[in-house]
Structure 1
Amino acid sequence: MKVTRYLAGAAGVALMGEGVSLLLDVRDLTDVLVWLGGAVALHDAVIAPLVLLAGLVLVRGCVRGPVRGALVVAGALTVVALPVLLRPGRTANSSVLPLDYPRNLLIAWVTVATVTALVLAVRGLARRRRPPA
């Protein structure tokens, strides 16, 4: 377990380093700071309370954690996809946003739901296999 934790930490530090290197190439940091502030405010004021409320109201017992985790991931995916989903229309250059972003977001949501269902199924099987204490 410690090895996995160290690997995840090292990957996180490497990704943060990549983010800092990309941030150093930005000419106007004001726009970046406004975007980051908006992302933090959106997360803290909208996404987190809705996820916690949905987890409290919709789910009971041991499945609450995975469902809340899935809702957090789905919310983050949605926030990341919002700029291309809310774009004003077709651009003059068709190669700027060439993909079907609503379909791809739906695929990502289905993937999150499937992984959550698999996690819950594996947990359920593990509980059944344990001998009663």
Structure 2
Amino acid sequence: MRITLGAAGVALITVGLFLLLPLPGLWGVVVGFAGAIALHDVVIGPLVLLAGLLVARLPDRAVVRGALITMGALVLITVPVLLRPGPPPNPTLLAQPYGLNLLICLVAVAVVAVVLVLVRRRR
């Protein structure tokens, strides 16, 4: 069964590569992936490690870590939309105030974390 699934996976990867190779913008994709890996290793990884060390001695560290992970994911998802140069190609595509929406979501996550900490301390 494993050999069959492995062979099917290799076949699908091969088909995907053959479909992807003729693209003229392939080099941009490769550079983007390399940049994402470098960003993770140089910036995001050390920041997460530092946050984990700072939170390690808190009594409700699980809630705080969960909130920080959720907030970090929200920021990472929203940053490309916020930092996009120029107007969107389709004016109806990005018609929302993403900065304000991000702030509302971050505040909501923080409020939920505070409520969870307070409920845990009352028990």
Query: RMSD of aligned C-alpha atoms?
Result: 2.9
Per mean C-alpha deviation after superposition, the further-off stretch among 70-79 and 87-96 is 87-96
Q: Is 2:114 the counterpart of 1:104?
A: no
Residue 113 and residue 43 in structure 1: after superposition, are their counterparts in 2 closer, same or farther (change >3 A)? farther
Amino acid at match of 1:72: I
Preserved contact between residue 51 and residue 71 of structure 1 (Cα < 8 Å):
no
* Aligned mates of 2:104, 2:58 — CA distance in 1: 28
Q: Is 2:47 the counterpart of 1:50?
A: yes
Per mean C-alpha deviation after superposition, the further-off stretch among 37-46 and 98-107 is 37-46
Residue 124 and residue 52 in structure 1: after superposition, are their counterparts in 2 closer, same or farther (change >3 A)? farther
Which residue, out of 56, 62, 67, partners 1:65?
Answer: 62
Identity of aligned residues (%): 48
Q: Secondary structure at the match of 1:62?
A: coil
Tell me how far 1:104 sits from its aligned partner.
Answer: 0.8
What is the match of residue 8 of structure 1?
none
TM-score, length of structure 1 as denominator length: 0.58
TM-score, length of structure 2 as denominator length: 0.62
* Aligned mates of 2:34, 2:112 — CA distance in 1: 31
What is the match of residue 111 of structure 2?
114
* Aligned mates of 1:92, 1:38 — CA distance in 2: 24
Q: Is 2:91 the counterpart of 1:91?
A: no
* Aligned mates of 2:72, 2:51 — CA distance in 1: 12
Total equivalences in the alignment? 102
The answer for unaligned runs of 5 or more in structure 2 is: 1-15
Residue 102 and residue 56 in structure 1: after superposition, are their counterparts in 2 closer, same or farther (change >3 A)? same
The answer for unaligned runs of 5 or more in structure 1 is: 1-23, 127-133
* Aligned mates of 1:115, 1:36 — CA distance in 2: 34
